[in-house]
Structure 1
């Protein structure tokens, strides 16, 4: 049984020169990539259930992803995190939810 999660949003970009490599590296994974008119990966969609190795997948493609890209996820237990791409590295950043004082 897997861990259910959904993608809440993203800002994701890979230059056209790397799209073939990204498609090859992510084949069979629960992510679909959309190309813009220039052949850049400009969007991604999560199409499945957490594999357990999603973070490792994004670490492997991080050198080809534009700085400032991110993927925002919501887990079945209410946890939220982003996979953030910067300087060829992917980091997992957990959300901190704060309630205002009443």
Structure 2
């Protein structure tokens, strides 16, 4: 079994000088990276179904990911979170959904 999730959106950038390292560090993970003509990673796509060691993997590549990058995920139970990259660190931030009073 496992916990199913899907990617809802992202803003993701790795400069050309780190592309090879990031590809090597993420080999076998359920993510596909897209390159621009200059060789920068400008997009990623989640091609899996289940939560694995995703957060640990993103923590390991965080020093190479541009500040302000994020990956927005939603779980099978409706919970939402983002993996956010800043200053060489990846943090997991859980969404807080609030309904206004009527």
TM range (shorter): over 0.9
Does the 8 A contact of 1:33 with 1:41 survive in 2?
Answer: yes
Does the 8 A contact of 2:14 with 2:64 survive in 1?
Answer: yes
Take 2:25 and 2:53, find their aligned partners in 1: how far apart are those partners? 13
Coordinate RMSD, CA, aligned = 0.7
Take 1:67 and 1:75, find their aligned partners in 2: how far apart are those partners? 25
Cα drift, residue 2 of structure 1: 1.6
Take 1:32 and 1:17, find their aligned partners in 2: how far apart are those partners? 18
TM-score, normalization by structure 2: 0.98
How does 1:47-86 map onto structure 2 within 5 Å? Answer: 47-86=47-86
TM-score, normalization by structure 1: 0.98
Matched, 1:45 2:45: yes
